[in-house]
Structure 1
Amino acid sequence: MGINSLRQFMNDIGLKQKIWLTIAAVSLITVVISLGLTYFLYQKFYVDEQKELLFLQGRNLEKIYISEGEGEGFQQRLNWINNNSKAHTIYTKDPMKLSAALPYEKKLTETLITFKERQQLLNGQTVTMVRKHPMFEKDILAVAIPLKDQDELSGALFLYMPLEDVYGPFKSIRLILTAALLIILFVVVWAGRKIASQIIQPIKKMETISERMANGDFSKRIDTTSSDEVGALAKSFNRLAGSLEDVENQRKEFLQNVSHELRTPLSYMRGYTEAILEGVVDSEEERQRYLQIIHQETARLSRLVHDLLDLAQLEGDSYPMKKEPIAFAQLVADVVERFKLRIEEKNIDLNLHLNEEAIIEGDSDRLEQVVSNLLDNAIRYSEENAKINISVDLSGDEVTLSLQDTGKGIPQKDLENIMDRFYRVNKSRTRIEGGVGLGLAIVKQIILKHEGDIRIHSTPGEGTVIVLTFGPLDLDKF
């Protein structure tokens, strides 16, 4: 299988299979490396130590031979090594006999040392070898040491031990190591299976739920108790599902509200228009009254569409704000001046306390819209001879606008949703009593665009206080 085929195979299989293949590959590589490393270390330390042991025993015999010759002490040492250690020693005065398969009684077809090794002995070199013993048919580890007398080769020592004795301990170690590695492999596979399941199951649930979300069902959630990355992802997915569900509910509610708001004026306009066209209007006065109603409903539809477009733009991230330093007290005074006639018609007692030093950074047109909407609501829901207090204060670097009325007030249960689109405290109120529920939603979005804060406090029967707070002006930007 080529690299491209392997890559294609990995792309085609599922995540669970990828995890299993990764665990299997890592486990297999770990086992191979562990066995190889163990064999290497055994070969490096234990086998090399046995070679060194044979060499040291040969050197000790060589020293005895040089000092005492082949006398009784040398022979006793030979016998002691053969009887008390794993090594076996052959002493010969003629290295040629090692090459000729002697000093054994019967002739052998193979030799203990090769011709080349015999030549090395004749040259005074020590020879280390691993080969099959020609007589016992066993692999041996051997050392051949030349013996010299006055710089002349007078004999040779051949020390060997069966490789079975060398690698015997390793067999038991290998069995223990293999068993341990198999246990570790089993544990790794078991743990990998658990981990894979913990990872895959939430993801599979996400896949299933996401398909339902694609079909418009946002009600399902993922149950998770883990606090790892997968658990965090599942919680984020649940939050996303919740947000999408809220958006979907808002969308449905928005469509219902828009349909409701459009249906009534359109039905009025259609009914009165048909009455005029069919000639059922008897007098010019009645005809003018019908036309006036159609004109009012047309204006109402125009305001509704304008507010909807405003809100849609403000809720987007790309809506441009022309921010500049604004004398906020003067802006509020200008808006109040435009409402002077309505204030006088209701005989409202208006009190203004404006700090002329209050300067904020913002879009003057949008901020005028904010103050206009708030003042319009205050006037609409105030009885005749009521009182409205408006103040602009400067506290440190913050500018605060407070608008207080003594109108009907807002019930506590409605305060949380009062700035939502199309939300009305009194669902059955007429259009003369109030708008379509977009004014405060627009105010909220404009204040958010200005990074400000809006708070509403209200007591039914006593009135409402709306407080707007704006941050410090950054003069370095201008």
Structure 2
Amino acid sequence: MWNKRHSLSIKLWFTIISAIIISVLFAYSLSQYYYKNLYVKKIKTDLVNEATKLGEDYQGGEITEDFMKRVEWFNSKNDSEVFVVNNPRELSACLPFEIDYDTLISEEERQLLLEGHAIEKEGYEKRFEQNIVAAVIPLMDEARLEGIIYTYIPVDSITDLLRELAARWLVATFLFLIVAIFLMTKWLKKLISPIKDIERAVHRISEGDYNIKLQVESQDEIGKLALAFNEMAQSIYLEEERKKEFLENVAHELRTPLSYVMGYTQAIKDGIVKDEEEKQKYLQLISRETQRLQKLLGDLMDLAKLDSEQVVFRNLPIAFAQFIEEVIAKYEPALKEKNLRLQAELDPDPIILGDDGRIEQILHNILDNSIKYTDMGGTISLSLHQQKDECELIIRDTGRGIPEADLPHVMERFYRVNKARSRFDGGSGLGLSIVKKLVEQQKGQIYIESVAQTGTKVRIVLPTIKDDWKL
């Protein structure tokens, strides 16, 4: 019974050896069958031809002594046994008064001979007490059967030849198996070696060693497997590094506001702050840091839900231009406070299918950044245009901009252009990460272009509803 716990090399070795043995046995059996049948058939044909040529010398009438001597001479020079039978008892196929007499030919065979046909025989012949292959041809004098030429070869000679062939075949097969096993063992070792390397690498990954790379030495399936493993290991390594960095960033983000809250609270509790005005200032700082913590935890929850695809989107048709105008209206106080000019060019045609709460969250994050990083008296502009089955929303500002080196990373989690991580002029670094996730969940794309000290352009492309869409 096949053991599932056997190694792959043993299974392959067993399978290949079994296939070789089965193939050799089948080939041997097939060769024995065809060799015996073709050889015996050829012997019968040769015997018939020999007897026929001898029979051509018979001219009819009584079989002469001279003819029989010629046959005897041929018999002495030939491997087969050849003789002439002219005994009436042999040719009459058992006369009624000699019914117990065993003849060389049967009544059916005698009829065939009378019709001029040659007879081929194979099997045990009681007269010779052995298995033979024989041929019989008639010697006819008009319609009278004067005699027969009987020629045969003992089957034992064929059996001896087949035995010799079998012996040589077995020796050759044994030598072939030795060579095949030797070459197959080396080949299997080379074949299994990269698989064992992959197995060892998998164990290392399970133990936490993710920075591993296999050598790809071939382009076959095993080579492709090793290449795929390297890609998987690299992905796991990067993911683990990202998780590690994420946890470090979370710890860092939480530690600072918590330290502020604990410090200010302890100062008030210990009575260090006695002035009421100073105490109110500390309480405002505690409130501000508490709100920062609340926002940070909210962002983390959003990201976790988006990553696990637990967020349920209630997609409904939205008249995008009207929706943007409603969101802009909420920013009038903030715009007046910084004396910022707002310009809007909104195409009324685009209708998108989306979750209004999540779309508003996208707009809030981008507009918050634009207002925060644009100096007093600056300009923020919005434009919306329909483009075939998509619409494009562009939000520009004349703010501080983003350095070229930081631009590819601004949508990464916890990434801040301000490396000092100041809580007074920067957020948690999660806002744009959430925006990117939300835009992608709405089957859209987001692009950011910026020039330091000049301004930033955010371009959002979203699919729109076709004209024939109905509620």
Is residue 2:219 matched to residue 1:227?
Answer: yes
Pick aligned residue for 1:418 from 410, 413, 435:
410
One-letter amino acid matched to 1:433: D
Contact persistence 1:219–1:245 (CA under 8 A): yes
Query: 1:456 offset after TM fit, Å?
Result: 1.2
Name 2:358's counterpart in structure 1: 366
1:259 aligns with 2:267: no
* Deviation, structure 1 residue 433: 0.6
Paired residue for 2:239? Answer: 247
1:28-39 correspondence to structure 2 within 5 Å? 28-39=21-32
> Is 1:347 the counterpart of 2:339 in the alignment?
yes
Amino acid at match of 2:33: F
Cα 1:184–1:377 shift into 2, 3 Å: farther
Q: Structure 1: how far apart are the matches of 2:218 and 2:62?
A: 81
Change (3 A) 1:350 1:208: same
Alignment of 1:26 onto 2:19 = yes
Secondary structure of 2:224's aligned partner: helix
1:271 match: 263
State how far apart, in whole Å, the 2-side matches of 1:469 and 1:252 are: 33
Report deviation, 1:306: 0.5
Q: Is the Cα–Cα contact under 8 Å of residues 407 and 461 in structure 1 kept in the other structure?
A: yes
Which of 105, 119, 122 aligns to 1:121? It is 105
Give the letter aligned to residue 21 of structure 1.
F
Letter in 2 for 1:321: F
In structure 2, the residue matched to 1:47 is 40
| SS of 2:405 mapped into structure 1 | helix
CA distance in 1 between counterparts of 2:244 and 2:30 reads: 68
Distance 1:127 1:442 in 2: 96
1:418 alignment partner AA: V
Q: How far apart are 1:44 and its partner, in Å? A: 2.1
Equivalent residue of 2:271, what SS? coil
**Deviation of the 1:158 alpha carbon:** 3.4
Q: Does the aligned pair in 2 maintain the 1:96–1:118 contact within 8 Å?
A: no
* Distance in 2, Cα, partners of 1:419 & 1:382: 19
Matched, 1:204 2:188: no
Q: CA deviation at 1:219?
A: 0.5
Superposition pairs of residues 457-476 of structure 1, within 5 angstroms: 457-474=449-466, 476=469
Q: Tell me which amino acid in the other structure corresponds to 2:317.
A: P
Determine if contact 1:127/1:145 at 8 Å carries over to the other structure.
no
User: Structure 1: how far apart are the matches of 2:447 and 2:321?
Assistant: 19
The letter of the residue matching 1:18 is: K
- Give the equivalent residue in structure 1 for 2:309: 317
Q: In structure 1, how many angstroms separate the alpha carbons of the residues matched to 2:54 and 2:375?
A: 126
C-alpha contact 1:94 1:156 (8 A) present in aligned 2? no
8 Å contact 1:122–1:146 — kept in the other structure? no
- Give, in whole Å, the separation in 2 of the partners of 1:432 and 1:91: 129
Between the aligned residues of both structures, percent identity stands at 35
Residue 477 of structure 1: how far off its partner (Å): 7.3
Partner Cα separation in structure 2 for residue 452 and residue 187 of structure 1: 64
Amino acid at match of 1:323: N
1:389–1:184 Cα change, 3 Å? farther
Indicate if the aligned counterparts of 1:403 and 1:465 stay in contact, CA closer than 8 A: yes
Against the structure 1 CA distance between its residues 422 and 154, is the aligned structure 2 distance closer, same or farther, given a 3 Å change threshold?
same
Does the CA contact (< 8 Å) of 2:444 and 2:462 recur in 1?
yes
Of 228, 233, 236, the residue aligned with 2:228 is 236
1:299 equivalent to 2:283? Answer no
For 1:342 and 1:40, the matched residues in 2 are separated by 100
Alignment-mate amino acid for residue 17 of structure 2: A
Q: Is contact 2:62-2:146 (8 Å) kept?
A: no
C-alpha deviation, 1:252, in angstroms: 0.4
Match of 1:102 in 2: none
SS at match of 1:244: helix
**Structure-2 separation of matches of 1:130 and 1:464:** 104
Is 2:352–2:462's contact at 8 Å kept on the other side of the alignment?
yes
Is the alpha carbon distance of 1:463 and 1:77 closer, same or farther for their aligned partners in structure 2, counting shifts above 3 Å?
farther
**Structure 1 residue 313: Cα displacement:** 0.9
Give distance in 1, aligned partners of 2:340 and 2:418.
23
- Structure 1 CA distance for aligned equivalents of residues 150 and 101 of structure 2: 12
Per-residue deviation, 1:263 = 0.6
Classify the secondary structure of the residue corresponding to 1:240.
helix
* Alpha-carbon distance in 1 for matches of 2:165, 2:333: 103
SS where residue 218 of structure 1 aligns? coil
Amino acid in the other structure paired with 2:107? N
Correspondence for 2:428 among 427, 436, 443? 436
Q: Kindly tell me: are residues 281 and 59 of structure 1, through their superposed partners in 2, closer, same or farther at Cα, counting changes over 3 Å?
A: same
Structure 1 residues 133-144: aligned runs within 5 Å: 141-143=133-135
Cα 1:473/1:62, change in 2 over 3 Å: same
What's the secondary structure of 1:128's corresponding residue?
strand
Q: Counterpart of 2:84?
A: 91
More displaced 10-residue stretch of structure 1: 463-472 or 76-85: 76-85
Q: Is the 8 A contact 2:104 2:127 kept in 1?
A: no
Q: What whole-Å deviation, never above 9, does each CA across 1:157-188 have from its counterpart, x for those lacking one? A: 43123658757887897788778767875775
Once the 2 structures are TM-superposed, how far is the Cα of residue 201 of structure 1 from its aligned partner?
2.1
Q: Give RMSD over aligned pairs.
A: 3.5
Query: Which residue of the other structure, out of 51, 58, 63, is the alignment partner of 1:70?
Result: 63
Deviation at 1:435, TM superposition (A): 0.2
Change (3 A) 1:198 1:277: same
Query: How far 1:71 sits from its partner (Å)?
Result: 2.7
User: How far apart are the structure 2 equivalents of 1:447 and 1:209?
Assistant: 38
**Cα offset, 1:300, TM superposition:** 0.7
Counterpart residue identity of residue 5, structure 2: D
Partner deviation per Cα, 1:212-232 (whole Å, 9 max, x = no partner): 111211101111132222222
Distance, in Å, in 2 between the alignment partners of 1:117 and 1:274 is 135
Question: How many Å apart are 1:244 and its aligned residue?
Answer: 0.8
Q: Which residue of 2 aligns with 1:383?
A: 375
The whole-number CA distance in structure 2 between the counterparts of 1:477 and 1:38 is 77
